[in-house]
Structure 1
Amino acid sequence: MSALSRVRAAYARIEAVDRPEIWIDLRPQEEVEAEARAIDARTAAGARLPLAERLFAAKGNIDVAGLPTTAGCPAYAYHPETDAPVVARLRAAGAIVLGTTNLDQFATGLVGTRSPYGAVRNAHDPSRISGGSSSGSAVAVALGIVDLALGTDTAGSGRVPAAFNGIVGLKPTRGLVPTEGVVPACASIDCVTVFARTLPEAEQALSFMTSPPARELPALPQRTPGPWRIAVPAPGQLGELDEGWAQAYDTAVERLRTAGADVRTLDLTPFTEAAAMLYEGAFVAERYTAVGRFVDKASVDGVEGLDPTVAGIITRARDIPAHQLYADLDRLAALRSRALAELSDADALLLPATPGHPTLTEVVADPLASNARLGRFTNSTNLFDLAAVAVPAGSVGGLPFGVMLIGPAFTDERLARIAAMLQPETRLAVVGAHLTGQPLNPQLLSLGARLDRTTTTAPVYRLHALQTDPPKPGLVHVGEGGAEIETEVWRLPAEGLGQLLTTLPRPMALGEVELADGTRVPGFLCEPGALANAEDITSYGSWRSYLNRREQQRP
């Protein structure tokens, strides 16, 4: 797939999903297509662009040259002349930025609703919150519009929306990714994060975003050989979870144990006590340092677009006494020592990303309490200078359930390797509307699928053009008299295949497809009874060839 065709598919997807609240500023399609043509020309000339054909979005508090940086507040907007380093590095690797995404104003919130640009709805259930503050970025990835997206994470903003939308969120060690060109929330602990539908895609993007550490690497404890050691909270310490979430978490723990991990318990108390300090203590004063003067003046001037919840949090932080900050720093140091001691004999701590997933209505009814509950497991991570990754771990009630792995600073790669154990995959053979660039391909992308290879079936199938909307072919096994049909094999999370089956319309069915090399994988077949009025297009060898010929024959 060329960069140009990927761009066109993305803008078609934007129109199809009709989620304008995702975006603050979307680049004109003509402008992005011109950039895509230039990328295609460079790759055709032999340029090495590892992220060519990848599209990404940037959270609205990250500078993108040519677009205003608003941080979710129109009156705050300024016009950067250059890209933030993280944006520039992805573009240098061939990725194309589509625009800036909506967020909880000034990155203050975990809900995704605190924005004058509208509440960002969940990708899977529009009655639920998307999670924040990196709301638009997460949903743009989850809906298959972009391949990657940049967010920020101070209190969990790169993990909560990842979990709610069934995608991956990498929160790197503080300082690994530059924060220049990013409107700060709490500058001392802010991190730029990356969203993707799969762990390898997220890791690849992160590899282009990182810088050499600006501080001396700590001496990590020497790891003794053996299975991964995974810490989990002692019984009862997770607190109240939404219905079904405890069971989903236990299933994730068991999956790691079955994969060979050594599961052990720790005391979660220092983590949850520190989490409460992020907003209840003096550390919130740093948010006033970042944008407090602007908020004060805007409030006095009656500027429109200030979110009242965000403005209240920031203005209250102005009057926190200095002695409270020093007392909280002492307390935090003690809690961090306890937390690191608890983690000392483990490679990672496994937790649910959040205790639950509220509806938009519930957040409107009690915005502060809803937000505070969501940060129970995430708020302490940056205060303790830890690394984290959030990954899908099944579903509850038809909605994504996500967990996160947390470990000491600079154990990012270790966490990713452990997280991969939670991602069982399956393969799927597609021959028609789910092919790359075809109308239903975003269904696969939104489930975290990635293209494995292009091949053909064994010569035992016939292909028919069905009378459906959108047009799609029907693949039927006939044995003798069949032919090879072009096929794409996709890898996707096992849970994703189950979700896809719930939306599969008749006469399509899931069956076993034999490939040219003799292997058999799940794939889309057609009920023979649906072929009565369907044109046999086997001679074309592929759905794409049939569509191209039909296009050429049009007057």
Structure 2
Amino acid sequence: MDISTLQSLYRDSKLHPVALVEEIYDRIEADGLHPVWISLVPKTENLARAQELASAGSVDTLPLFGMPFAVKDNIDVAGLPTTAGCPAYAYQPVTTATAVQRLLDAGAILIGKTNLDQFATGLVGTRSPHGACSSVFNPLYISGGSSSGSAVAVAKGLVSFSLGTDTAGSGRVPAAFNQIVGLKPTRGALSTTGVVPACRTLDCVSIFAETCADAAKVFSTAQAFDAVDSYSRDSKTMSPRAWDITSFRFGVPRPEQLEFFGDSDSAISFAKSIQSLETLGGTKVEIDFAPFRAAANLLYSGAWVAERLAAIGSFLSDHASEIDPTVYKIIAGAERFTAVDAFQATYKLEELRRVTAKVWDVIDLLLLPTVPRTYTIAEVQAAPIETNTNLGYYTNFVNLLDLAAVAAPAGLKSSGLPFGVSLIAPAFSEASLLLTADSLHRKLTATISASARKLSETPALEAQKRPPETMPIAVVGAHLTGQPLNWQLTERHGKLLATTKTSREYRLYALPNSTPAKPGLLYEPGFEGPGIEVEVWALPIETVGSFLAMIPPPLAIGSLRLESGEIVKGFLCEPAGLAGAKEITHLRGWRNYISQL
């Protein structure tokens, strides 16, 4: 059910959208509505939509043409009730949530709305009057929550992708328990207009998909600044954090800070994940995980629980008997917090943000188990608060610290249950997170979820030529990787795009009286040299000015032609600055010259 496969079938006329819709509804009827679904778009409506899409012949113009999807039932869809998993709370929305509408406009077909932990309060998937979803690998084990139905709908192959929400890990935990991809974007990257809030300041719309490539496609389609959403953020004003996915640094907690709550299988699987990421070019860096845990503890033991009470207001007291007992206990507990408590918690969080921000100077991403262990439905029912708390050990801090995350499958444990890891980095790092996660997913997992379909038969996620909102800059000497001024690029979150050569019209000189030693590159029309080695780096637009300010004369940034014919900005030298310089063009690059000194 992955997007690429369906698109190919549509293009080759081997599958018609109407036939796919028929098959999906037949499978749902055979399985039963609950516990995965709460409500469905009427079959007749979707058959008509499928026919309309096919008649328009827009398979190559609509990015999600004919792709079936589901949404968590705390997200509005006009024509279907929004219940947040509580029938007494249900209302009929007049408009469709912004993120959902963007997907519909792109040609996707909404099948229906899915089950959840009531009011999106929980990581277990058992707190619903519609029944407890279970892992597709074993019906005795939980599916994870709160976006339980959304994850299971993808894992069962009923839809190509789905939307959930994520405040404490609800878009990641169910992905781990069902061996699918869960993307928790940067807060505000996807509009939350039309979403029933859990914690308004922290909520995210999340994406479940079979592959990172599918998650990336859905994300790029749904992402847009929403002026109606006061928490929406424009990615164009933010610096996208990126790294070279063939050479990067990843953080892991110190050994004594890892916690698996007795699940030795998960500990073994995590060690394998670390080794695999190292073989993909990563360098492991042990970090102090304590400040991240301290931030995580603020979510439920601090005043943010009061946001859950603010979200549903008097409904809690007026309908106490119609609310799941565990959900009621959690939300009602917020009444003990005062405005003073809220401010004190905010001050503490800002301290922890300052402390944890230093970690990103030494790592590019954080690798963690998505969950410490797997629980049975019976274990959760016996200890609903404790088990839920344990499941959030590695997830609860992410939104509080304004980070992005991708939960990726990481193979099966000896028990036959899936294990998953999360790759986490600062806001607007989705592109690089997905690329890295895709490589790790493909290294550790052979099949898609619990099916026999091979992951290798789906297309890998391809890197963009360069990250959005960046400028390519060619460097030739002291800014090359490993050279003394390379830090000026990495400090500004520059990403190495390629090592290549200039076209043949360039001469290279070693400049005199330069500290550190630097070369000068001179363009000479008609000259036919060997071409000079350069590295092309992508530098976030907002950091380019500060970088240029550090370039001393006679060096300057001008237009430079690469051997491919592409023209990029790069280092050149003023001719007057070459007085007394030694020509080293024949050595073909600065590194070769340095090696001879």
- Provide TM-score, normalisation by structure 1: 0.75
The question of 1:245 aligning with 2:240 is answered no
Partner of 1:359: 376
* Residue 49 (structure 2) aligns with: 35
Q: Identity of paired residues, percent?
A: 47
Q: How far does residue 51 in structure 1 lie from its aligned partner after superposition?
A: 0.9
Matches of 1:325 and 1:389, distance apart in 2: 29
Of the three residues 384, 387, 393, the one matched with 1:370 is 387
Post-superposition CA distance 1:441-461 (Å, at most 9, x none): 99456x757656xxxxxxxxx
Counterpart-to-counterpart distance in 2, 1:125 and 1:12: 23
Contact 1:292-1:318 at 8 Å conserved across structures: no
Matched, 1:280 2:293: no
Give 3-state SS (helix, strand or coil) of 1:383's partner: coil
State the match for 2:426 in structure 1. 408
Aligned residue for 2:365?
348
* Residue 416 of structure 2 is aligned to residue 398 of structure 1: yes
Distance 1:58 1:376 in 2: 26
* Other-structure match for 2:316: 295
Q: Quick one: structure 1 residues 105 and 450, their matched pair in 2 at CA, closer, same or farther if it must change by over 3 Å?
A: farther
- After superposition, the Cα gap between the structure-2 partners of 1:66 and 1:245, relative to the gap in structure 1 and judged at 3 Å, is same
Distance 1:181 1:222, change over 3 A: closer
What amino acid sits opposite 1:57 in the alignment?
Answer: A
Match of 2:577 in 1: none
Hey, what does 1:457 align to over in structure 2? none
- SS of the residue 1:244 aligns to: helix
Alignment of 1:425-440 (within 5 A): none
The yes-or-no answer on 1:105 pairing with 2:126 is: no
Q: Deviations over 1:460-519 (max 9, x none)?
A: xxxxxxxxxxxxxxxxxxxxxxxxxxxxxxxxxxxxxxxxxxxxxxxxxxxxxxxxxxxx
One-letter amino acid of the structure 2 residue matched with residue 240 of structure 1: F
The within-5 A match list for 1:444-483 is 444=452
Whichever residue aligns with residue 326 of structure 1, its letter is F
Task: After superposition, give the CA deviation of every residue in 1:148-171 in whole Å (9 maximum; x if it has no partner).
Answer: 000000000000000110000000
Distance in 2 (alpha carbons) for counterparts of 1:276 and 1:128: 26
- CA separation in 2, counterparts of 1:219 and 1:31? 42
Q: Is the 8 A contact 1:24 1:60 kept in 2?
A: yes
Residues 83 and 448 of structure 1: is their aligned pair in 2 closer, same or farther, counting only changes over 3 Å?
Answer: farther
Partner of 1:11: 25
CA distance in 2, matches of 1:94, 1:195: 18
Aligned partner of 1:367: which letter?
P
Distance 1:335 1:93 in 2: 40
Specify the SS of the correspondent of 1:394. Answer: strand
How do 1:118-197 residues align onto structure 2 when only pairs under 5 Å count?
118-197=131-210
Q: Paired residue for 2:400?
A: 383
- The answer to whether the 8 Å contact 2:245/2:436 transfers is no
- For the 8 Å contact 2:85–2:119, the answer to whether it is kept is yes
Alpha-carbon separation, structure 1, partners of 2:114 and 2:89? 15
Deviations 1:386-417 (A, max 9, x none): 00000000111111111000100111111111
Give the stretch that moved more between structures: 23-32 or 162-171. Answer: 23-32
- Residue deviations 1:233-257, cap 9 Å, x none? 1112112341311110011110110
Say which is worse superposed, 119-128 or 346-355, in terms of deviation.
Answer: 119-128
Contact 2:245 2:435 in 1 (8 A): no
Is the 2:180–2:408 contact (alpha carbons within 8 Å) kept by the matching residues of 1? yes
In structure 2, which of residues 339, 363, 388 is the aligned counterpart of residue 322 of structure 1? 339
Distance change >3 Å, CA 184–CA 261, structure 1 → 2: same
Residue 425 of structure 1, CA deviation: 6.5
Among candidates 226, 231, 234, match of residue 251 of structure 2: 231
Q: Which AA in structure 2 matches 1:235?
A: P
Q: Describe the superposition over 1:260-311 as per-residue Cα deviations: whole angstroms up to 9, x where unpaired.
A: 1111111100111111111011111111110132111112xx4x3x111111
The question of whether the paired residues in 2 share the 8 Å contact of 1:266 and 1:343 is answered with: no
Q: Which amino acid letter does the alignment assign opposite residue 350 of structure 2? A: A
Partner of 2:128: 115
TM-score norm. by structure 2 comes to 0.70
Q: Structure 1: which 5+ residue stretches go unaligned?
A: 430-440, 453-555
- TM-superposed deviation, 1:43: 1.9
Larger radius of gyration between Structure 1 and Structure 2: 2
Q: Supply the distance in 2 between the matched residues of 1:276 and 1:427 (Cα, whole angstroms).
A: 32
Deviation, structure 1 residue 216:
7.8
Structure 2: stretches of 5+ with no match in the other structure = 1-14, 226-232, 460-597
Distance 2:367 2:451 in 1: 29
1:75 correspondence with 2:65: no
**Structure 2 counterpart of 1:70, one-letter code:** T
Q: How many residues align?
A: 437
Helix, strand or coil: the match of 1:254?
A: helix
Q: CA deviation at 1:83?
A: 1.1
Offset of residue 8 of structure 1: 1.6
CA distance in 2, matches of 1:83, 1:156: 24
State whether residues 21 and 120 of structure 1, in contact with CA within 8 Å, keep that contact through their aligned partners in structure 2.
yes
Distance between the aligned counterparts of 1:426 and 1:16, measured in 2? 33
Distance in 2, Cα, partners of 1:58 & 1:21:
14
Alignment of 1:256 with 2:277, yes or no, is yes
Aligned-partner SS, 2:431: helix
Change (3 A) 1:327 1:3: same
Deviations 1:98-142 (A, max 9, x none): 000000000000000111111111111110111000000000000
Mapped partners of 1:333, 1:216: distance in 2: 25
Task: Give the counterpart of 1:87 among 97, 100, 111.
Answer: 100
Q: How many Å separate the matches in 2 of 1:96 and 1:134?
A: 20
Which residue, 7, 16, 30 being the options, matches 1:2? 16
